[in-house]
Amino acid sequence: MIRLHEITKSFGKHLILDKGSLQIEPEMRLGLIGRNGSGKSTLFKIISGEEGLDSGEIISPKNYQISHLSQHLKFNVPTVLEVGCQGLRSEEKYDHYKVEEILFGLGFSKEDLTKDPHELSGGFQVLLSLAKALVSKPNLLLLDEPTNYLDIVAIRWITRFIRSWKNEMIIISHDQSFLDNVTTHTAIIHRQNILRVKGSTAKLAKVIDEFEEHYEKQRISEEKQRRQLQTFIDKNIANPATATQAKSRRRMLEKIPERQKLETLYDLSFDFQAADFPGKTMLEITNLGFYYEPKQELIKNLSCFVETND
């Protein structure tokens, strides 16, 4: 189990987290969502120790092992096998067979082990980085956009893998259906804080909407109450007959928190320019075939039509 307690992080004047707290419990698979630039990858770097904190603390058991599959992949050794071996613990640094076992399970061939990792496709680079993370047998696995560059077969494999994971895990992904399929809990970095629920992204969105609606109603009510109290104070503080009541109202006013109006969060919007298509058939494919290797034909005798409004 790992706990983040009231952590604050900023870059210059840009506040990322303001006393945010989060607890990851045994066997929890947590989906982490949030707007671009909200601080998801920064939070991963904080948890893995790559970034420091302005304040707060991270509490975890002794010898708690964390592995991080980053969205930005970097390789600094010449072969696939050596990349995988970088994940081995110091007492296992010569146990290359453990790396080979995982790589073969992920679809690598024996010939792939001596390849330069930069020659691999994007999907296999992701799987290689995943193998490096897995071989360390971490207590907490951090996955940043793990389905990037993966084809449907690899996505199915990683889905099965995540669902069978018995330790703790946090996953960043923009694919909400993928997250809902593999996670037990969902969290979001929202307004410089961290909110967590048990369940799906839709449930979390509902909780946020309800919280913000309640906050705004409470803010308006308290603002109205403050105005009424201030009006009474202004009218009565100078009158000896009512000054005591005015002072009492002032003490009441001081106890009412002054809530700030929530800032509007803007979404990116765009429009497509389009022209009407006068015909009926927009696309016609007849007997299409495709392959990279003659013995591994991917498409054979494909025919189809795409008509207007399909």
- What distances in angstroms separate CA 238 from CA 146, 227, 255, 256, one per listed residue? 68, 18, 22, 23
> 199-208 long-range contacts, Cβ below 8 Å, gap at least 24?
201/31, 201/33, 201/176, 204/33
d(CA 222, CA 91): 61
- pLDDT (tens digit, 9 = 90+) per residue, 36-68? 888 999 999 999 888 999 999 999 999 899 988
Handedness of CA 187, 191, 192, 193 (dihedral sign): negative
Answering whether pTM is above 0.75, one says no
Are 66 and 142 contacting, i.e. CB atoms less than 8 angstroms apart? yes
Mean pLDDT for 19-26 is: 93
- pLDDT (tens digit, 9 = 90+) per residue, 147-206? 887 788 788 888 988 898 899 999 999 899 999 999 999 999 998 899 999 999 999 999
Question: What is the rounded average pLDDT for all residues in the chain?
Answer: 89
d(CA 180, CA 154): 18
At residue 280 the predicted structure's pLDDT band, cuts being 50, 70 and 90, is confident
Q: Is 173 helix (H, G, I), strand (E, B) or coil?
A: coil
pLDDT of 70 higher than 80: no
Share of the chain above pLDDT 70, in %: 98
At residue 124 the predicted structure's pLDDT band, cuts being 50, 70 and 90, is confident
Residue in the block written with tokens 């009541």: 245
Q: Which residues contact 165 (CB under 8 A, 6 or more apart)?
A: 29, 141
pLDDT score, position 266? 67
Residues paired with 57 in a beta bridge: 5
At residue 284 the predicted structure's pLDDT band, cuts being 50, 70 and 90, is very high
- Burial category of 95 from C-beta neighbours within 10 Å (exposed 0-12, middle 13-18, buried 19 and up): middle
- What distances in angstroms separate CA 28 from CA 140, 197, 271, one per listed residue? 10, 12, 40
At residue 73 the predicted structure's pLDDT band, cuts being 50, 70 and 90, is confident
Half-sphere exposure of 31 (CA within 13 A, CB side): 26
pLDDT score, position 268? 65
Mean pLDDT for 28-39 is: 90
pLDDT of 101 higher than 90: no
pLDDT of 267 higher than 70: no
CA-based angle 82:83:85, to the nearest 5?
Answer: 60
